[in-house]
Each structure stands twice: as structure tokens, then as C-alpha cells.
Amino acid sequence: MKPSFIVRSWAAMIELEAPSTAVAAVAAKLRSLGIDAGRDLEPFLRLIKVKGVMRRGVELVRTEASKNSCIVLLEGVACWSRRTDDGRRQIFAFHYPGDFCDLNRYVLPQLANSARILAVTDCLIGTVQFEHIEEIIGRLPAVGLALWRATMLEASIFRETLHNSHRPALERVAHLLCEQLARREAIGLSDGIIPLTQIDIADATALSPVHMNRTVQELRKLGALSRNTRAIKVASRERLVEIGRFDGRYLNMPKLLANWKIRLDAWLA
Amino acid sequence: MKPSFIVRSWAAMIELEAPSTAVAAVAAKLRSLGIDAGRDLEPFLRLIKVKGVMRRGVELVRTEASKNSCIVLLEGVACWSRRTDDGRRQIFAFHYPGDFCDLNRYVLPQLANSARILAVTDCLIGTVQFEHIEEIIGRLPAVGLALWRATMLEASIFRETLHNSHRPALERVAHLLCEQLARREAIGLSDGIIPLTQIDIADATALSPVHMNRTVQELRKLGALSRNTRAIKVASRERLVEIGRFDGRYLNMPKLLANWKIRLDAWLA
DNA sequence: CGTGCTGTTGAGGACGATCAATGACGGTGG
DNA sequence: CCACCGTCATTGATCGTCCTCAACAGCACG
């Protein structure tokens, strides 16, 4: 990620040289939440201030000055994590461009807890002031509902993760990778590469790195992941969906998933 | 639960003979979400229609007629569950009086999925029409924010459950019981009895009933649960909190938890 | 050209699942 | 009142998935 477009100005995002992919990702996300592209989208985009690049591994700290704002991821991958009792890192969910990383703080600030937002890769982030959110919700109620939906979608992902987390390692990892693949495709990242280390995935599935590695090898052997690279690259989406018994409807992206083969069992029972 | 107070009328809840404990529970819940008791509370309570008693084990079905409404639990215990691939029941969360069981359907109806609301004990339920929610949110924005908070609180519980679900059985069960205890105390149920079967708890912790039983026995041996009854009865809250390393701040009940001994580690790190 | 992180492999051990059987309790109907 | 039945609780034995420890290889980085 070249830092050429980093601007710390407080001017509006769309007036800046924020990468077009970032703007597109945020717009795609908002549209999927029901924001009217013609009327409400632009006013909201104008609230996003580009903050800058955060290096991989650092916490997306909220400085004292920006305590009353929340973070929008513009480029890269972040995660919502916490330390477990034994000092391990647990990853609740990954964030992709267009995601609001800590919108929960707007709704329940007193709950601000031990969770941390970490940059999993180098990240470009923006912020939105709480007061601006409050103002636009009052002015455009549809935006309020869209933000509510954004948090509900996150809850839906938590639920699915919870469901997934008590399944055997192979299915578990396959399912997680399916989700990441779908969410990346939803914002135009369709190269099939999932830019996470095996350790990242281990922390997100609560598997040991060792067993994670064996599981990845198994997925490669089964033809779901590519064998030609150290990176996590999906070789066969169908295979992965099948292994993970992935039913992506919890992600609220009907159009995208129309192209996917999806299990129907649970919905017909 | 005597059916004497069952009224299927559409008159407002507080004008009915809904048990006072139910009204108190709903009111307590709403107040904890930031509803102004003097101004916004009563208008909201008036929207709740008492529906009737559901027997233990049945699904809290939404009839066609009430498709556009959501369920408020008034008495008893319900759960949000799903069938796993192998036919097992998985419980995501329990519901107590005052909880909105499916408010998510109001926000993201298209996501209405394979999840089911089941009565874990006999339940008294009420409903609120979506149109009434929409109306009151428009009129009293504070109610809208409170409902958003309600869904966020649920998400917070999911997150904690996710965190908890990768710990050893003993801690896991102790933590779950702590949560149920706290949530019951919050609505005035302070007898220390948790009206769940070991099978219910097994389904909520993804443990086998056999191992669940051994864990319960261990908790009894450790003095956390009472040995004098078949029921799950807490003998020592302190012991249970200690074993489960329970930090209840994710529940958003600061006043209640002031009496609890709570771990501070994660918050100071 | 080391230094650190990530990926990879082997061996042993633990936690919890599974199978199977029995006991205890509550409700139902004769 | 008692016999019956279903659900829940309890116990023992075996087995499997995944963790842990330990060591090493490969790649990226300064």
C-alpha cells in the first residue's frame, strides 16, 4: 500500500484522493444496508474523514482527540479481537473496507470493553464523528436504520461464528474462509486470495497454529485451496462451500450469493 | 403458571391483568436501556399486547396474523436456538422476562433465518406490532435508540458467549450460570435457582449431556452449586464467579454488578 | 546475512464425545 | 392408590480430535 494518498485533512472523503476502491467499498456496503444511492449516500460519505495508514499489527487506537468518533475501514483487513485468559489472541470477526469497526461504541459507549481493533494487514482508515452521526440520523432516518442494520449484520455474523465454532476443524476453517471470500467479493476483491496468515485464522477459529496448519494442508489436498503458494488462495469455491457446509444467507448479500451453491437443508427443515 | 391472567384482548398490557412481575421486568429492562421512566416508558408499555401462555418445549410461533410483530417475553424462560447439522439443538442465548425475542426481524427481516425461539419453561408472551414500533420511534427517538441498544446488548452477549465457548467445560458452565444468575437478578428473580435442565445447559455450552452432568457434579463438589436439590441452584455466587472468571460488564447492568466481585484483569491490561 | 515471523513435521497426552445401562422423579391413567 | 411411562440425572468404559511440546525449514525484513 503506497502512502501517496494519505491525507490527514478534515475535508470530506469524496473530495480527497482516497482510493476509488475504498469509496466503492464503502458505497457498496451502505447500499447493501438499504441506503438510497441517489439521496442518502453522498451526504453520508461526506462525513468520513480519511485518517491515514496503520501498519499491520498495530491497534487502531482512538486518540483522545477522536474519542467521540468511530472508525471506518477503507483499505486492508482489520479484526475485532481480545486477549483470552491465557494470553492468547481471540479474533471475533474480521473487518473489510466499508465496515464500521466500532459503531457499537456509539450505541453503548458504557460497554466499551476489553475488545481491541487490530490491523491484520496494513490498513487505511477513516473516522466519523459521533455528533455527525447523530445529526444525520436526525435528518435522514433511513441512515439511522442502515446503521442499525450494520450492527445487526455484525450480530448475525457473531451468531454464525458461534454456530460454526463447535464443528470439526476442517469444516470450521472452510466455513470461515467461505465467509471471508464472500465478504471480499461483495466489495470487489475477487482474486480468491485471503490475506491472512494461518495464525490469524487459528486465532479466529480457536485452533492451535499446529492444527491449523494441518487443516490447511488437508484443504489443499482436497482441492479447496491452492497448493502453489504459501498464501491462502482459494482454488475451488464449490469445494470449499461443500466442505464448510456454507450457507451465506446470514451475510445479507442475496445478489452475490445467487452465484454460489448454497445448502438449503436448514431452511427447509 | 396459572392461566387465570391470560387475556387475548388487544387492549394495552398495563390495562390488563398481566402479572405485575412481568410489567416490572419489562420496565426494568427498558430503563436499563436508557428509556426515561417518566416520559417514554408508559407509551411503550401500552404497545405490548398480552398473547398468552406457551407450554414448555413449543416454538413461539408467529402466526400469519402476527407476522409483522415481534415477541416480548413476559414470564418464563425462552431460548434462541437452531438445529446443528447432526440434528442437535444449539442454544445461542436464553431469554428472560422483558427481553425482545426477535427484534432482529424488525431490523433485518430478510435475514429471518433458520433460528427458532423455543419455550424452555412455560412462558407468558406478548407481542408488539412492527407498525407501532415504527410509529413510536418516529415520535420518541429515545425509544429507537433504546431498541437499538437492546439488539446491541444481545450482540454483546453473543460475543461473550463466543469468547466463553473455547474454554474448559468447568469454567464455561460456571460462566454461563453466572450470566443467567445476573440476568435473573436484574429483573427481580433472586432465589438463585436457574430453571434449566442439564440438557438445556449442555445445548447452550455445546457439551454432551454426559459431560455436562459431570461438570455439574464438580461444581457441586466445589461448593458453587447446591447439593440438596436436583435443580440447578447456586450455593455460592462468589465461588461461581471465581470459577467462571466472570466479568459481567458486558451485560450493561452496572448497578447490579456493583455487588458482585468482578475480575478486573482484562480491563486493566 | 543474521533475525524474526510463519509454515511444517513428529510424538505424546488430555479433554471431552460416545456408547451403554441404570436410577430417580413427575405426570398420567387405570 | 398404584402401575406405567417418559424425561432427566447419573455412572463406567472406550475412543478420537485436537492440544502441547519440540525442533527445523523457508521466506521477508532490515
- Tell me the pLDDT tens digit for each residue of A214-238: 999 999 999 999 998 999 999 999 9
Give distance CA B167 / C1' D22 (Å).
25
Three cell numbers at A48? Answer: 468520513
Q: Do B104 and A155 touch (CB under 8 A)?
A: yes
A36 Cα to chain B: minimum distance (Å):
16
Do residues B182 and B167 touch, judged by C-beta distance below 8 A?
A: no
> Which pLDDT belongs to residue B1?
43
For residue A241, give how far its alpha carbon lies from the nearest alpha carbon of chain B (Å): 14
* Percentage above 70 pLDDT, chain B: 87
pLDDT band at A169 (very low <50, low <70, confident <90, very high): very high
Lowest average pLDDT, out of A15-24, A116-125, A193-202, goes to A15-24
CA distance readout (Å), B226 to A103, A123, B190, B201, B239: 42, 52, 15, 16, 12
Average pLDDT over every residue of A115-138? 93
Between CA B175 and C1' D22 the distance (Å) reads 34
User: Confidence band (pLDDT; 50, 70, 90) for B87?
Assistant: confident
Chain A nearest C-alpha distance from B32 (Å)? 11
| Mean pLDDT of all residues in B196-210 | 97
Q: Rounded to a whole number, what is the largest CA-CA distance in chain A? A: 55
Protein CA A124 to sugar C1' D2 (Å):
77
Q: Is the CB of B226 under 7 A from strand D?
A: no
Q: What is the pLDDT of residue A17?
A: 57
Of B84, B104, B265, the CB nearest to A152: B104
Q: Is the pLDDT of residue B2 over 70?
A: no
pLDDT score, position A96: 97
pLDDT at A173 over 70: yes
Beta carbons of A165 and B167 less than 8 Å apart: no
Residue B166 pLDDT grade (very low, low, confident, very high; cuts 50, 70, 90): very high
Burial of A3 (C-beta count, 10 Å sphere; 0-12/13-18/19+)? exposed
Structure confidence at residue B5 as a pLDDT band (50, 70, 90): very low
Q: For B138, which residue in chain A has the nearest alpha carbon?
A: A141
Judge whether residue A182 has pLDDT over 70: yes
Q: Which triple of cell numbers denotes residue A239?
A: 469445494
pLDDT at B133: 95
- Tell if the CB–CB gap between A252 and B163 is shorter than 8 Å: no
pLDDT level of residue B109 (50, 70, 90 thresholds): confident
A111 contacts B250? CB cut-off 8 A:
yes
Q: What average pLDDT is seen over chain B?
A: 88
pLDDT at A5: 36
Chain C, protein-covered positions (CB within 7 A): 5-11, 15-20, 25
Checking if the pLDDT of B112 tops 60, the result is yes
Q: Which band of pLDDT confidence, cut at 50, 70 and 90, is reported for residue B111?
A: confident
- Residue B5 vs residue B114, higher pLDDT: B114
Distance A86 CA to C9 C1' (A): 26
Contacts A168 to B, Cβ<8 Å:
none
How many CB atoms are closer than 10 A to CB B194? 21
Q: A162 and B167: CB-CB below 8 Å?
A: no
The answer to whether the CB of A119 falls within 8 A of the CB of A54 is yes
Identify all chain B residues contacting A92, using CB atoms and an 8 Å cutoff.
Answer: 159, 162-163
DSSP string, B105-134: HHH-GGG--S-EEEESS-EEEEEEEHHHHH
Our measurement of CA B262 to C1' D6, in angstroms, reads 42
Task: Collapse the DSSP code of A44 into the 3-class scheme (helix H, G, I; strand E, B; otherwise coil) and give the result.
Answer: helix
Measure Cα distances from A119 to A20, A24, A95 in Å: 21, 21, 9
Rounded to 5°, the CA angle B224-B227-B229 comes to 120
Q: Which nucleotide is nearest to B232 (CA to C1')?
A: D9
As a rounded value in angstroms, the CA-to-C1' distance for B89 and D12 is 26
> What is the helix, strand, coil percentage profile of chain A, to 5?
45, 15, 35
Q: Taking the CA atoms of B69, A250, A157 and B90 in sequence, report the sign of the dihedral they define.
A: positive
* pLDDT score at A85: 81
Residue A232: which nucleotide is closest by CA–C1'? C7
- What nucleotides of chain D have any atom within 7 angstroms of a protein Cβ? 7-13, 17-22, 27
Among chain B residues, CA nearest to A266: B114
Structure confidence at residue B267 (pLDDT):
53
Longest dimension (CA), chain B: 55
Which amino acid residue lies closest to nucleotide D9, measuring CA to C1'? Answer: B213
Amino acid A10 reads W
pLDDT at A264 over 60: no
Q: Give the torsion sign (CA, A20, A22, A23, A25).
A: positive
pLDDT band at A268 (very low <50, low <70, confident <90, very high): very low
Residue B134 or residue B114, greater confidence: B134
- For A137, name the nearest residue in chain B, comparing CA atoms only: B141
Strand C contacts (Cβ < 7 A) comprise A 197-199, 209-210, 213-214, 216-217, 230; B 86, 168-170, 172, 206-208, 210-211, 230
Question: Is the pLDDT score of A4 beyond 60?
Answer: no
pLDDT band for position B64 (cuts 50, 70, 90): low
Q: What is the pLDDT of residue A56?
A: 93
How many angstroms separate the Cα of B12 from the Cα of each of B8, B134, B187?
11, 17, 21
Per CB-CB distance under 8 Å, the chain A contacts of B112 are none
From the CA of B182, how many Å to the C1' of C5? 43
| A106: confidence class by pLDDT, cuts 50, 70, 90 | very high
Question: What pLDDT shows up at residue B157?
Answer: 97
Task: Provide the grid cell at B19.
Answer: 402479572
Q: Which residues of B touch A (CB under 8 A)?
A: 82-85, 90, 92, 104, 107-108, 110-111, 113-115, 138, 141, 144-145, 148-149, 151-156, 158-159, 161-163, 165-167, 206, 245, 249-250, 252, 254, 265-267, 269
Q: Report the mean per-residue pLDDT for chain A.
A: 88
Mean per-residue pLDDT, A192-218: 97
